[in-house]
Chain A
Amino acid sequence: MGFKEIASSPLLYGLVIVGILMVAAYAAVFLKKAYGRCLALGFDRKTVNGVIKSSLTFSVVPSISIVIGFLTLSAALGVPWPWWRLSVLGAVGYELMAADMATKGMGYESLAAMAQANDPKVFGAVMFVMTIGIIGGLLFVLVPFGKKLTTGMMKARKSTSTWGVVFSSCFMLTMVAVFLPLMVTGDPVQVAVLATSAVVTVLLGLLIKVTKWAWLNDFVLAITLIVSMVSAVGWNALLH
């Protein structure tokens, strides 16, 4: 059996489908448990359902970008392996880069060239390299220390002093401090898209305030994302 046959083998399909069903079931159990807890904490169903609706609508567009990553990888690595890698743990950017680096590490010019060579041994190595590269955070941090990291934060937040409240908000500000400078020193299209996203969010906020369309709150992130991504096409034509 060659690389391509193994990459599209029924066994790999079967294992991947079972794995993905497990992940989906895990998400469903998490959702059920957290939903019950939210009601117990005093949230009304309308608010909780609003959060679910908002998360669902927002997740559609980034998920399409994951599908695009899947289409790119599947041309060389077959359907099941990229399907699995993009459904668990991975990120579109990581998987594309990891597959590319593993390919070059094996001396091939590109993913397509590696698939063309049809060497079955290569497939085993690619699967392991792509997995090991990203599994460390789960294995060495989250499984042993996940509870400590989250409950420690809660303990700090609940302390009698208001310092805990300030402390916990530092983490969000860190995201701005790191990602904002990286983005504004990027290409001009990136800066324009970033500004568009901020402006659209403000405008939607104003629209909600003026019209009192509270239902629109659930869709602010999704609308901002779509409008900003569409604007990227226009900015790209204008600035490049």
Chain B
Amino acid sequence: MDKKYERGIHLIGRIGLIIGIAFMLGIPAVISAVYDVWPSSITQVMTIGGGLLLMFIPTALAEVISYTPVLGSSAYITFLTGNVMNLKLPCVINSHTLTGTTQGTDEGDTIAAISVAASSITTTLIIIVGVLLMVPLRPILTSPMVATATSYLLPSLFGGMVLSFMNESCGEYIAKGKNLVMILPLVLVFVINLVYPLSGKEGFAVLACMALNVLIAWVLYKKNIIKMVPKDAAPGKSE
């Protein structure tokens, strides 16, 4: 990657995150100071949020570690604006499919950044419209039919995305046999989930499976079961 761009995008990413974090903690702090509603002690915060913090702090850490390699430099804006699995990750996968690029390349990284930034702006605008029109929208959006449809958002996305994930195309190569890598982790997750439900612990499962996948891929690659076949340059690029 061009060093100047790389330095710039990571610098902007970090500065944006630090400002974002300052706002996230600053807003409750200002409100608590002005209206004198500070929690009485750290102990009170821990008592109130104990279960929540125990569950979500490790999950949030695991998610950032797991998804950042897929998201590339778009991880900064992705995690700042949130909704990773149901919005930003599908956007990245879709943009890679459209342009024939993959993550881990300059092209894939930059295309991902474009798609996540455009998606973030759209979401921000739609939430603003939702806030402005909340009175007329409430009866429509809280109807049982809409509630049912929206509760199946993830499977609605994932069914189509699985096909993109399993595409043997890897940028300038076709990786024949690469899908064999996920068979063992897939069976393991299936079995473990039957015994010990993994819902809400997906971040940890991703982290563990990632290590296992890399190990299996290494073995299959070394044994020449995964074969790399070069292909023409990605479509959409003027060469």
Q: Does A41 contact B (CB under 8 A)?
A: yes
Give chain B nearest CB distance to A141 CB in angstroms: 4
Having A133-B56, A143-B17, one finds 7 other A-B pairs with CB under 8 Å, namely A43-B99, A67-B127, A140-B61, A149-B69, A164-B104, A177-B213, A198-B160
Q: Does A116 contact B (CB under 8 A)?
A: no
> Contact flags (1/0) for A163-197 with B, using CB distance below 8 Å?
11111111111111111111111100111011111
Bound together, the chains give a CA A133 to CA B51 distance in angstroms of 10
Interface contact B94-A221, CB-CB below 8 Å: yes
The 5 A-B residue pairs with the shortest CB-CB distance in the complex, in nearest-first order: A197-B159, A157-B104, A67-B130, A228-B156, A129-B49
Bound together, the chains give a CA A40 to CA B179 distance in angstroms of 33
Bound together, the chains give a CA A111 to CA B232 distance in angstroms of 57
- Please indicate the chain B residues that have their CB under 8 angstroms from the CB of A134 in the complex: 56, 60
**Candidates A173, A193, A232; contact of B182 at CB < 8 Å:** A173
> Contact flags (1/0) for B200-218 with A, using CB distance below 8 Å?
0010011001100110011
Bound together, the chains give a CA A137 to CA B59 distance in angstroms of 8
- Please indicate the chain B residues that have their CB under 8 angstroms from the CB of A16 in the complex: 27
- Please indicate the chain B residues that have their CB under 8 angstroms from the CB of A18 in the complex: 23
Give chain B nearest CB distance to A4 CB in angstroms: 12
Interface of B is mostly: helix
Interface contact A154-B104, CB-CB below 8 Å: yes
Bound together, the chains give a CA A83 to CA B82 distance in angstroms of 13
Interface contact A20-B114, CB-CB below 8 Å: no
- Please indicate the chain A residues that have their CB under 8 angstroms from the CB of B12 in the complex: 26, 29-30, 33
Number of interface residues of B (CB under 8 A): 163
Give chain B nearest CB distance to A92 CB in angstroms: 7
> Contact flags (1/0) for B23-45 with A, using CB distance below 8 Å?
11111101110110111100011
- Please indicate the chain A residues that have their CB under 8 angstroms from the CB of B90 in the complex: 58, 62, 221
Interface contact A71-B130, CB-CB below 8 Å: yes
Question: 14 interchain pairs (CB within 8 A)?
Answer: A12-B31, A26-B12, A27-B121, A56-B118, A71-B134, A89-B20, A102-B52, A142-B76, A167-B217, A170-B214, A173-B165, A176-B162, A190-B155, A232-B151
Bound together, the chains give a CA A27 to CA B115 distance in angstroms of 10
- Please indicate the chain B residues that have their CB under 8 angstroms from the CB of A176 in the complex: 162, 165-166, 182, 186
> Contact flags (1/0) for B151-168 with A, using CB distance below 8 Å?
111111111111111100
Interface contact A142-B86, CB-CB below 8 Å: no
Bound together, the chains give a CA A217 to CA B119 distance in angstroms of 17
**Candidates A61, A67, A229; contact of B137 at CB < 8 Å:** A67
